Amino acid sequence: MSDNLAFTKADTFSVAPMIDVTTSAFRRMCRIMSKRAMLYTEMVAAEAILHGKLNLLSHDEKEIPCVLQLGGSDPERLAMAAKIGEEQGYSAINLNAGCPSDKVQSGEFGAVLMKNPQLIADAYQKMQNAVKIPVTIKTRIGVDDLDDFDYTVKIVKTIYDAGCRHIVLHARKAWLNGLSPKENRTIPPLDYERVYQIKELFCDLAITINGGIITLDDCLSHLTKVNGVMLGRAVIDNPYLLSSVDRVIYKEDVQDKSRKQVLDEIVDLCENFLSEGHKFHHLAQHALNLFAGCKGSRCYRQYLSATMHKKDAKPELLLEAYKLMQDVV
C-alpha cells in the first residue's frame, strides 16, 4: 500500500475510540453534526470477532468513514480479525496499543504492548498484509518507567520501520500500576512538545495528536504541527462542537446547524433506532450534553436522565426535556 493512503483528509479530525461510548448509536448521532469527521468504534477484541460475535461490528453506512479499533496481542489472530473488519466495510483498522483500561490489561494488550514495540510492529505487518485498507496504530508517549524521549522514539521507530505511516499518539504516558483508567486520562502530564518533536524526526509519518484537546481553536493550533487531531472526552462533554467541524476544520462552505436542529434530527434518528429493536436510552444518553453551557441545560439533562430508562421511553422525551429548558429561559 502506498504511503499516501495511510492518512486521508477525513483523518484531519477524528473522534477517539472510547469503551462504552463510541457505539453505533453514538456514531450515528455524530454524523448528524459532521459529515466529514473520522469516527472510531469502541475497541473490539480480536478474539470476540473470531468467536463469531459479528454483532460487535454492526454499523450503518452513514457512519462511514469509520475506523474499526482492534484489541489483541497475537499478530495472526489480529490479522484474521482485521480481514473480517475490512469485509464488514470499515474504512481502516486501528490497533489499540495505548489504552490503560482494566479490560485491556487483563487481556495483555492495549498499553501493555508498549513494553514490547516489536510485537506492535509484527502485528502491524500481519494486519496490513491481510487487508487492502489502511492499518494504523494508537499508542502513548510512554508506559510506566519507560517514559523518556528515547523510548518514545524507540516505539515510533519500530512501528515506522515495519511500514506503518499513520500513528495516533496520545500525549501522555500510561501508568499501568497505581492509576485507574480514569486517572490515566488526567494525571500523567500532557507533553504536546514531545509529539511535535516526533513529527519532526519522522517527517513522512502522519501523526494524529490526542489527549486533553478541548476546543476547535486548540485543534487548529495543533494542526500547524501535526497531521491530525483526535478528541475524546471533549466530545462527550460538549457533542455540539461537532456541528462546526466541517466548516472550521475541513473548510467546507456549510452553515452550522443549531442545537434545536440537531435535536430534531436526533428525535428522527431515535424513531429509526427504536424500529430496529434498540432501547431509547442507548441513543438518548449521548444527547445528555447537547445543550451544555446553555441556560436551562441542567433541567434538560435532569429530566432526560430521569426518564430515558423507562420501559415505555419514546423520542418525544427529548422534546419534553427541551421544553423544560425553554421554560427556564
Which positions are annotated as active-site residues?
99
Phi, psi of 95 (to 5 degrees): -95, 125
Contacts of 232 (CB under 8 A, 6+ apart): 15, 16, 18, 210
- Asked whether the beta carbons of 201 and 43 are under 8 A apart, the reply is no
Ramachandran region, residue 321 (left: φ > 0; alpha: ψ -120 to 50; beta: rest):
alpha
Give the containing element (helix H, strand E) for 64. Answer: none
CA 140 vs CA 4, 189, 194, 260, 314: distances in Å = 23, 12, 11, 38, 41
CA 6 vs CA 34, 96, 196: distances in Å = 22, 16, 19
Task: Record the cell numbers describing residue 82, joined without a space.
Answer: 482485521
Residue 192 to residue 260: CA distance in whole angstroms? 36
- Asked whether the beta carbons of 85 and 3 are under 8 A apart, the reply is no
Residue 276 pairs with which residues in a beta bridge? none
Nearest residue to 94 (alpha-carbon basis) of 120, 117, 116, 76: 120
231: three-class secondary structure by DSSP: strand
Relative to beta strand 135-143, strand 66-71 is: unpaired
